[in-house]
Each structure stands twice: as structure tokens, then as C-alpha cells.
């Protein structure tokens, strides 16, 4: 099942529009924090558009791995940003949604720890 030529063209146009917007952003005079977040969101959208535009050429497993990789990369970047926001006191204990974030991160941490537990790690390769 391939993508229609019309959809492929539309995705290409969106990518070009995003590139144009990114080139014009510095001229707007937005705060650097907002500009950086916008650029990261554009990168995420570009990655998703790439996955859409190449979906007909790839196997579902390859697409799923790429999407998960993008999510992990984006989540890691966001966590690093939040750590910086806490260090610079842009986030405080009364910041909206901080309790929910803490809960989700604790759950994620537990899930990741399970991935690295001895029971779930693949066995070491046999010695030669």
C-alpha cells in the first residue's frame, strides 16, 4: 500500500514550509528559550513527516523502531531541558503539572529499570 502522489506532495510542501518558517524565526525577535523549544518541536515534526513519507518504502518494524528512537531522543532532550529549568529556578514546587510529571517519570524509571534487570537482559554471547 503506497502513499498517493497527492499526499507525498502535501508532505513535501509541509516540510518546505517548516524550513522557511525556521529560517525566518530569528528575525521575529522571540526569546531564545521559546525559539529553541520551537526548533525542537519542528525537528520532531520533521522526523514524523519523514516517517510518514517513507512508510510505504519500509517494513512496519523499521518504522516502529524509528518512531520509538525519535520519542526517546525527544524525551531525553525535554528531560535535560527540565533539569536546566529546575537549576535556573524557572520551575518550582508549585509549577502546574509538576506532580503529574513526577508520577510519570517515576513510572517510566521503574519500567526502564525492568528492561535492564538480569531477568530481561539477553544472555551474553557464548565464549569462543
Q: What is the pTM of this model?
A: 0.68
Cα dist. 14→17, 48, 104, 113, 118 in Å? 5, 12, 32, 39, 45
Total Cβ atoms within 10 A of residue 80: 10
pLDDT tens profile 11-46: 788 888 888 887 888 888 888 888 888 888 888 887
121 in helix, strand or coil? coil
Distance CA 66, CA 51 (A): 8
Amino acid at each position: 500500500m503506497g502513499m498517493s502522489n497527492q499526499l507525498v506532495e502535501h508532505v513535501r510542501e509541509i516540510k518546505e514550509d517548516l524550513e522557511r518558517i525556521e529560517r525566518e524565526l530569528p528575525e521575529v525577535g522571540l526569546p531564545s528559550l521559546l525559539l529553541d523549544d520551537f526548533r525542537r518541536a519542528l525537528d520532531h515534526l520533521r522526523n514524523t513527516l519523514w516517517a510518514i513519507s517513507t512508510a510505504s518504502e519500509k517494513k512496519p518494524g523499521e518504522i516502529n523502531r524509528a518512531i520509538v528512537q525519535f520519542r526517546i531522543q525527544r524525551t531525553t532532550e525535554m528531560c535535560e531541558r527540565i533539569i536546566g529549568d529546575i537549576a535556573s529556578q524557572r520551575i518550582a514546587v508549585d509549577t502546574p503539572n509538576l506532580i503529574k510529571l513526577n508520577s510519570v517519570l517515576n513510572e517510566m524509571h521503574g519500567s526502564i529499570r525492568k528492561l535492564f534487570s538480569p531477568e530481561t537482559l539477553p544472555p551474553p554471547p557464548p565464549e569462543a
